[in-house]
Structure 1
Amino acid sequence: MLDKAWNPKPEILFSYSADDLRDNPSHVSVIVTNYNYEKYVIECLNSISNQSHQRLSLVVIDDDSRKDLSVEKILEWMDKNKNRFLSIKLLKNISNQGPSASRNTAIEHCPSETIFIMDADNTIMATAIAKLYDCLRRSDAQGVYCQIVEFGDRNQLGSADLWDVERMYRNNYVDIMAMMKKTAWAQVGGFSHIEEGWEDYDFWLKFIDQGIDMVFLPEILCRYRVHGVSRTSTEAHKSHYDLEIIMKYRHPGQPKVEEYK
């Protein structure tokens, strides 16, 4: 349930940066994980490029895709769109690492203190980064998340709601498409590898374990694609009972609600 012991450095397939990345308080890095998502990744990248928030960096990490040409598609896209960003980088794991290790690696390479995380099969609305950043800036929280809408094989509103410690210990309703300070990610030790899934839920429970607060922005800003080859569909659902036991083992002590008021 910990990060894999072997975690070789990724290849850097593409890298571009502006002359000076310092003194940009509104600088946000978008982290994208890709694994055989050639069919969806360009739509994802276009949604990032189209953000109204201007001070953006982009770090894409490919988790050793071998079934499609997604890496070639990403390289072509980056070469055409690199000037949109303060910095842009494509990393590639030399062997499959899974989403947790991939996200940790990408975050280590991002140049800003504020990050936004998403997978390559999802998209974000044009004002997503701007509104989330403004909410984070005006709050005392370490992170902010919004409502999502599901599309693809299922079309419906997501289940995001106010950050509630007791409710989060019962079930996860916060998607990983969220903005946070890199210091919060570091404080909880980053993402942990869990073989059957639920790394996202484990990540949020570690926030609760550490007393890190999150803010809910009740606006639809992110689009979550539901499809048959997503990890949630192929692994997490069939291992639901085992994962519940794993979560209870990893987070045995539910904190007192008063501690978070």
Structure 2
Amino acid sequence: MSITAPWMAPCQTACTFKSRRRKAPDLISVCITNFNYARYILDALESVATQSHAALELIVVDDCSDRDESVARITAWMEENHARFWRCTLIVHTRNQGPSEARNTAFKHASGSFVFVMDADNTIYPRAIGRLYMAACDGGFDATYSQIEYFGHERRIGSADIWDPAQMARENYVDVMALIRREAWEKVDGYSHIDEGWEDYDFWLKFIDHGLEVAYVPEILCRYRTHGNSRTTNDAWAAHDSLRAIMAFRHPALSARYRPDPAGTKG
């Protein structure tokens, strides 16, 4: 007899397709999280399907979409395109849990040693996963990320730069779109839920806390869609000061180590 605690995120597998091909040693799991983004999700899926890296597993986690036909659209797309992947799966949360739990659900179901994370309203260029994977393997990194391109309501290049723990302690410049070693996700205990946002920033700070190695690939590989309904627009900016306090509370050693010295006494 199994008991599901009320605070756990119950989920159901809406559909899954698995090929008869052997699991490739360079298999990468792609995690797409979706919540009422039926109008964008097909663009995200198509951008994954056109990746130059051949060995892919696709895991879409729908976080209980209740205002559109996300599940029906994703299911129909998988039925038509599943041959592209070693396996593709749609998992549906039976109640909304937020992006952190949706990503954790995908990691728990991932078969690859690396997982690429993206949200359903974003897209990636065909070379993205292959380039990030090559960099991770060549350098033995726990995660790799690239420069991003903003599109939609705003068009510009992102602010990603070389991984620097001191700079990251002051501000986040690394997007959630990144290739992550599954063992590293386990080591930092996955993503943590934070009410107003900044789960991705907290995730990267946990990488620094644990001494994990992260690398920047200086190419524009990922595309971030800007629109009025994004969680960053609606929640995170409005709670900017309180979120900084939360980050300092959650990562006290990091905050103390890299806190600016106004007196200029530290050499």
Q: TM-score, normalised by structure 1?
A: 0.94
Unaligned runs of 5+ in 1: none
- Measure the CA separation in 1 of the matches of 2:229 and 2:28: 30
1:16 paired with 2:17, answer: yes
Using the TM superposition, give the Cα deviation of residue 140 of structure 1 relative to its aligned residue in structure 2, in angstroms: 2.1
| 1-structure distance, mates of 2:238, 2:6 | 26
Report the CA distance between 1:256 and its aligned residue. 6.0
Supply the distance in 1 between the matched residues of 2:112 and 2:91 (Cα, whole angstroms): 17
Q: Is the 8 A contact 1:7 1:97 kept in 2?
A: no
Which position in structure 1 is the counterpart of 2:153?
A: 153
8 Å CA contact 1:47, 1:125 repeated in 2: yes
Residues 1-261 of structure 1 aligned to structure 2 (within 5 Å): 6-22=7-23, 24-254=24-254
Query: What letter corresponds to residue 163 of structure 1 in structure 2?
Result: W
Whole-angstrom CA distance in 2 between matches of 1:96 and 1:21: 34
Question: How much does 1:213 deviate?
Answer: 1.1
User: What residue identity is the alignment partner of 1:47?
Assistant: S
Question: Unaligned 5+ residue runs, structure 2?
Answer: 259-267
Q: What are the superposed Cα offsets for residues 182-205 of structure 1, whole Å, 9 maximum, x if unpaired? A: 000000000000001000000000
Per the alignment, do residues 117 and 5 of structure 1 end up closer, same or farther by CA in structure 2, a change over 3 Å counting?
farther
Q: How many equivalent pairs are there?
A: 253
Is the Cα contact below 8 Å between 1:10 and 1:94 reproduced in 2? Answer: yes
Contact 1:192–1:199 (Cα < 8 Å) also in 2: yes
Structure 1 residue aligned with 2:261: none
1:141 Cα offset (Å): 1.3
- Structure 1 counterpart of 2:59, which letter? V
Q: Specify the code of the residue in structure 2 equivalent to 1:231.
A: R
- CA deviation vs aligned residue, 1:12-67 (integer Å, no higher than 9, x gap): 00111123544x22110000000000110000000000111110000000000010
Amino acid paired to 2:101:
A
User: For residues 144 and 158 of structure 1, what CA distance do their matches in structure 2 show?
Assistant: 16
Is this contact kept in 2: 1:7–1:101, CA < 8 A?
no
Cα RMSD, aligned residues only: 1.4
**CA distance in 2: counterparts of 1:93 and 1:175, whole angstroms:** 24
Q: Which residue type is aligned with residue 34 of structure 1?
A: N
Q: Quick one: structure 1 residues 5 and 155, their matched pair in 2 at CA, closer, same or farther if it must change by over 3 Å?
A: farther
> Are the structure 2 counterparts of residues 229 and 220 from structure 1 closer, same or farther at C-alpha, using a change threshold of 3 Å?
same
Return the letter of the residue paired with 1:8. A
Moved segments of 4+, more than 6 Å = none
Cα deviation digits, residues 60-105 of structure 1 (max 9, x gap): 0000001011111101000000000000000000000000011001
Partner of 1:131: helix, strand, or coil?
helix
Instruction: Tell me, yes or no, if the aligned pair for 1:168 and 1:205 is still in contact at 8 Å.
Output: yes
Rg larger for: 2
For 2:246 and 2:6, the matched residues in 1 are separated by 19
Measure how far apart 1:6 and its partner are. Answer: 1.1
Give the Cα separation in 2 of the matches to 1:38 and 1:7.
26
Alpha-carbon distance in structure 2 between the residues aligned to 1:180 and 1:96: 24
Instruction: Give the conservation status (yes or no) of the 8 Å contact 2:10–2:95.
Output: no
Distance 2:70 2:192 in 1: 25
TM-score (norm 2): 0.92
Q: Which amino acid aligns with 2:172?
A: N
